Amino acid sequence: GAGVSQSPRYKVAKRGQDVALRCDPISGHVSLFWYQQALGQGPEFLTYFQNEAQLDKSGLPSDRFFAERPEGSVSTLKIQRTQQEDSAVYLCASSLSRDLREQYFGPGTRLTVT
Amino acid sequence: QKEVEQNSGPLSVPEGAIASLNCTYSDRGSQSFFWYRQYSGKSPELIMSIYSNGDKEDGRFTAQLNKASQYVSLLIRDSQPSDSATYLCAVKSGGDDMRFGAGTRLTVKP
């Protein structure tokens, strides 16, 4: 079946621009996660949704980062007034079960802020 | 101290050898442990999960967990060049988030 998809795959933004990154989880997956992965590092947790509820946003680095999942399926991660330090790969993952076990990752969006 | 520590490598083994990847974690309340493989420029791919002490085998892969020592490892038997990748250890405690190590880069030489 179809896996997790993300768009765009690559995004170049000028500093100060707003960007929106989209994630389509695996159909029927209740849980959805966003991660930020810098070069040479492991993914860093940003936020977590269970259906449409954002249950944990403790990893969002600043109030410029905002995520939503209004209908409990597709999710959007928005970054306002992008800064160079926001340059990274943004990964989305989904999980079937509420107990948050195995997560399946999308291909990621590589964001470059110039 | 990082919450999940891995030797960054690179770890180089000859084809056919056993590759041993190690991970330690700091949160004693951690319950679930995962190994992901990440090829360069690709997203992480789940290869093993382990939840209780001991060994869990799946094909050429064996995960080992020792909660008392806060240690989890991955053994890859009969290593192949296609196993060359970065291996990420991930740990989940009671909260919603998963903590990843920085990864160990493995190279299998033909």
pLDDT at residue A100, as a whole number = 62
**B2 contacts on A by Cβ (under 8 Å):** none
B94 lies within 8 A of chain A by CB: no
Chain B CB contacts of A56 below 8 Å: 95-97
Question: Is pLDDT above 80 for B16?
Answer: yes
> pLDDT category, A1, cuts 50, 70, 90?
low
Q: What is the tens place of the pLDDT at every residue in A4-31?
A: 999 999 999 999 999 999 999 999 999 9
Residues A31 and A25: their CA atoms lie apart, in Å, by 9
Mind listing the pLDDT tens digit for each residue in A28-73? 999 999 999 999 899 999 999 999 999 999 999 999 999 999 999 9
CB pairs < 8 Å spanning A and B: 52
Q: CB B15: neighbour CB atoms within 10 A?
A: 12
Query: Chain B 23-82, CB below 8 Å of chain A: which residues?
Result: 32, 34, 36, 42-46, 49
Nearest CA in chain A to B48: A102
- The predicted structure's pLDDT at residue B68: 94
CB-based contacts of B59-63 (< 8 A; 24+ apart in sequence): B61/B35, B63/B33, B63/B35
CB within 8 Å: A45 and B101: no
Assess whether pLDDT exceeds 80 at residue B22: yes
Q: Distances from the Cα of B2 to the Cαs of B27, B33, B50, in angstroms?
A: 10, 16, 21
Beta-ladder partners of B99: B91
Average pLDDT of chain A is 94
